[in-house]
Amino acid sequence: MKRLGFLIPLGAFLALAIVLAVGLNRDPREVPSPLIGKPAPSFSLTRLDDPQTSIALADLRGKVWMLNVWASWCVACRDEHPLLVAFSKKGLLPIYGLNYKDQRDDGSAWLMRMGNPYQASLFDNEGRVGIDFGVYGVPETFIIDKTGTIRMKHIGPLTPEVIATEIEPLLKKLNA
Amino acid sequence: MIPELGHLALWLALGVSLVLGTMPMVGAARGRLDWTALARPSARVLFALVALSFVCLAASFAGNDFSVLYVASNSNRLLPLHYRITAVWGGHEGSILLWLLMLTFWTAAVAQFSRHLPDAMSARILAVMGWLSFGFLLFVLTTSNPFDRLFPAAAEGRDLNPLLQDPGMVIHPPMLYMGYVGLSVAFSFAVAALIGGNLDASWARWARPWTTAAWFFLTIGIALGSGWAYYELGWGGWWFWDPVENASFMPWLVATALIHSLAVTEKRGSFKSWTVLLAILAFSLSLLGTFLVRSGVLSSVHAFATDPKRGLFILAFLVIVIGASLALYAWRAPSVGLGARFSLVSRETMLLGNNVLLVVACGAVLLGTLYPLALDALNLGKISVGPPYFDTVFVPLLTPLVFLMGIGPLARWKEAELPDLAKRLKWAAGSAVVATIVAIWVHGGIGIVGALGLLMAFWIVASVTTDLVERLQPPAGTRVALLQRARLIPRAMVGMMIAHLGVAAFILGVTLVKSGEVERDVKMEIGDTTEIGDYVFTFRGVREVPGPNYRAAQGTIEVSEGGRAVATLHPQKRIYTATQAAMTEADIDTGLTRDLYVSLGEPVANGAWIVRVYYKPFVDWIWGGCLIMGLGGVLAATDRRYRQRAKKTVRTDALGAVLGTT
């Protein structure tokens, strides 16, 4: 019995190796979300730039909009951001940010530095709304339709391919 | 011709590493002295061959040989010579070659300085290191050959990643790799001891200076990387919990645990199997870090040149090396025994606590780094957890660790008494609390976490002082001059105290930066000013400045304090000619109590720019603390007793040899 204890490190390592091997052969970004086709969770959060004004899910009903989860501490968001800024200039749909587990000053400074593609950013300091949306990490992007139903979710930074092959066709369908 | 020579040297090295891996190992098992005697010369030849190959690659860079694919991808005629040389490790293939160079260097160093070890032991150690070299050589030769030719040759190279064109990058990777690979020595000692079945206190004594040396390089390497990120990435942060950083931090945490555990094993014979496990883990984490950075399983800001085929090779290598050593551990360690007993309150217990906390901290970092990957493997999506997770996890782990750091050195081995410890440390505790209150009073509100940070830093300083005072006090009834007493303190002990003070400086730096930093992004027109505290920053405009392989927009910002000029800063925004990559070069006025950090954002209109102005109190204490820790490591590793013992055994060996011949 005592001998078995000395096998624990080996067992733990082999389990880790299996995870690594699986991770190696995987394109991580194609994951169906259980939330797709479900109504977006309701929320009411203050704007990042204005603690006095709140935005609720109901305010956004009737339009197709994008929710982009970001944070000033998020390294991948830096990669994604220029693309998002360029995309917002096309004006295809309003983009709202969910400023996830961040500080107000940090978030605002970050937007000032990197450019602001958002109609508004919702300030989710404690990450409650993020949890409701099933956010594992940052960045993530959701497309929500006129009825408030989540139609698409993308995990990780957006890429030009995702925008061209998934988001834009979806928008054509939703706006038709 | 030169690249082919380098390539050939690697193939020859592969053969030599095979000899080094097998012959001495078999020789040690069969008691064949003629076979074990092959170990030292093979280790030296191996190093010479890899060094030759490295020099060949460097020569190709220096001579702008763009018929070599790797040179063409990472260099450029316009690149200054010193960066052409350091571009050798600017990409994947060269980094691995550098790693290999370090590994063979450590192997040759062990061959040189292991004469006092029993013959079979040193043969086994060198053989294990030979196998490691074999694996990495095979990796270079099959998946990452830096000497691959490019036909037709490129007219011009693609240039070195501009981020790496920086003095910090010249020494950061070699230092870090020295640390990473240096842990292979402790690993090889452990594996050799498991194979030979001679896991005793002397094993720990031999492994100690090597481990401390590797730890020193790792500490400095990480600090340099952090400093580089601070001034080169242009956003004023010094640690991002990026996977690449975590990859270096995890071995550091375990190596720190190992240093402490080795002390117990050497002095008391306890924790033997645990120490061996740590030695295996520390190097395993170095390898794992390499895998994470090189395979592309995790995306990161500074992961470069990733390729799944290479990932598969490293994973296989990882499974063989770590799997085999852990299997060996599971097989041999149970027979090692427990060593001397100790009571619940003793230095052993404190060090065990230190070990557990450090390993748990490492586990937390591993989890935060791999959790995204694990979720992904389970089909749950790709994420990044980030500072909120690590900050939440680290403070609760560090607090008891620092508390123990104060008590441990004062506690007696085997059995200590709580009331006695409390009595000896009451002044330390009291003065730490008073110092914290005074500091908060002088500094102003800094929050609970800030106050805790200050308390931890002062606690370390006060307890180290107590320790020092006790050691300087002559025993009752004797009269010894202070200086003489001071000389009696072993150098390793002084090293420990200094390293602990380094931790205090580090904590102080982190705490004061976190609580007092001011970051401001302002739009400034020429002549505009912005104020942070008493400092007034005046924007004097931006002009074009040419560089060797870039063009730069250089801003001029004058800083004054109460009407007195403090500094004139010249942050730059560079566009590199070959890659058209834009780089931000911050300019920093460094001071003991604060950094003034200025970098250029984007141009707005009419000569106005977005300017980032940061005030970072005590930020340099972070790296200063690391340097102090490193200094402590150097002192500990060069303690006289390691050197003396080495000399003495050499002499007896020589005597034995003489007697043997007569």
Query: Amino acid letter at A162?
Result: V
Cα–Cα distance for residue pair A46/B76, rounded to 1 Å? 51
A30: nearest CA in chain B? B381
Chain B residues in contact with A13 (beta carbon < 8 A):
284, 322-323, 326
Digit-coded pLDDT (tens) for B225-260: 898 888 877 667 788 887 778 888 999 999 999 999
The answer to whether the Cβ–Cβ distance between B386 and A73 falls below 8 Å is yes
The answer to whether the Cβ–Cβ distance between B329 and A6 falls below 8 Å is yes
pTM, full prediction = 0.81
Fold assignment, A30-175: Glutaredoxin (3.40.30)
The answer to whether the Cβ–Cβ distance between B376 and A23 falls below 8 Å is yes
Of A17, A29, A112, the CB nearest to B521: A112
Of B280, B380, B386, the CB nearest to A138: B386
The answer to whether the Cβ–Cβ distance between A20 and B297 falls below 8 Å is yes
Which two tokens mark A125?
A: 């300091």
Give the Cβ contact number of residue B145 at 10 Å: 18
The pLDDT value recorded for residue B661 is 35
Digit-coded pLDDT (tens) for B142-172: 988 999 888 888 888 877 877 778 887 778 8
Digit-coded pLDDT (tens) for B613-648: 889 999 999 999 999 999 999 999 988 777 655 444
Place of tokens 């499974």: B319
d(CA A11, nearest CA chain B) in Å? 9
Q: How confident is the model at residue B131 (pLDDT cuts 50, 70, 90)?
A: very high
- Does A25 contact chain B (CB < 8 Å)? yes
Q: How confident is the model at residue B300 (pLDDT cuts 50, 70, 90)?
A: very low
Residues 6+ apart with CB under 8 A from A60: A96, A144, A148
Which two tokens mark A19?
A: 């995870």
Chain A residues in contact with B376 (beta carbon < 8 A):
23, 26, 28
pLDDT, mean over chain B: 85
| pLDDT above 50: residue B656 | no
The answer to whether the Cβ–Cβ distance between B377 and A137 falls below 8 Å is no
Chain A residues in contact with B333 (beta carbon < 8 A):
6
Q: State the helix-helix crossing angle for B92-113 and B167-196, rounded to 10 degrees.
A: 50
| pLDDT above 90: residue B123 | yes
Chain B residues in contact with A71 (beta carbon < 8 A):
386
Mean pLDDT of A108-137: 84
Closest of B513, B583, B587, B519 to residue B550, by C-alpha:
B583
Digit-coded pLDDT (tens) for B580-591: 777 788 899 998
- Does B367 contact chain A (CB < 8 Å)? no
- Does B447 contact chain A (CB < 8 Å)? no
**In degrees to the nearest 10, what's the CA dihedral of A100, A101, A104, A105?**
-110
Length of chain B: 662
Q: How confident is the model at residue B333 (pLDDT cuts 50, 70, 90)?
A: confident
The answer to whether the Cβ–Cβ distance between A75 and B240 falls below 8 Å is yes
- Does B322 contact chain A (CB < 8 Å)? yes
Cα–Cα distance for residue pair B177/B101, rounded to 1 Å? 10
Cα–Cα distance for residue pair B71/B81, rounded to 1 Å? 13
Cα–Cα distance for residue pair B657/B88, rounded to 1 Å? 45
Of A6, A18, A29, the CB nearest to B330: A6
Chain A residues in contact with B277 (beta carbon < 8 A):
9
Q: What is the dihedral sign for C-alpha B104, B105, B110, B115?
A: positive
Q: How confident is the model at residue B658 (pLDDT cuts 50, 70, 90)?
A: very low
The answer to whether the CB of B521 falls within 8 A of the CB of A109 is yes
| pLDDT above 50: residue B447 | yes
The pLDDT value recorded for residue A129 is 85
> What is the domain partition of chain A in residue ranges?
30-175
**Cα–Cα distances in Å, from B63 out to A96, B10, B72, B187?**
53, 21, 11, 39
What is the DSSP annotation of B278-323?
Answer: HHHHHHHHHHHHHHHHHHSSS--TT--S--HHHHHHHHHHHHHHHH
Give the Cβ contact number of residue B378 at 10 Å: 10
The answer to whether the CB of A110 falls within 8 A of the CB of B612 is no
B612: nearest CA in chain A? A113
> What is the domain partition of chain B in residue ranges?
1-165, 167-300+307-414, 417-517+621-662, 518-618
A9: nearest CA in chain B? B326
The answer to whether the Cβ–Cβ distance between B315 and A17 falls below 8 Å is yes
Digit-coded pLDDT (tens) for B349-383: 889 899 999 999 999 888 888 776 666 656 555 55
The pLDDT value recorded for residue B645 is 53
- Does B315 contact chain A (CB < 8 Å)? yes
- Does A6 contact chain B (CB < 8 Å)? yes
Percent of chain B with pLDDT over 70: 90
What percent of chain B is helix, strand and coil (3-state, nearest 5)? 65, 10, 20
The pLDDT value recorded for residue B297 is 57
Of B312, B323, B375, the CB nearest to A10: B323
Mean pLDDT of A144-167: 85
Calculate the CA A7 to chain-centre distance: 41
Digit-coded pLDDT (tens) for B639-655: 877 765 544 444 444 44
| pLDDT above 60: residue B213 | yes
Digit-coded pLDDT (tens) for B462-477: 999 999 988 888 776 6
The answer to whether the Cβ–Cβ distance between A10 and B521 falls below 8 Å is no
Tell me phi and psi for residue B207, to 5 degrees: -75, -25
The pLDDT value recorded for residue B155 is 80
Mean pLDDT of A94-118: 88
Residues 6+ apart with CB under 8 A from A53: A46, A47
The pLDDT value recorded for residue B337 is 67
The answer to whether the Cβ–Cβ distance between A155 and B381 falls below 8 Å is yes
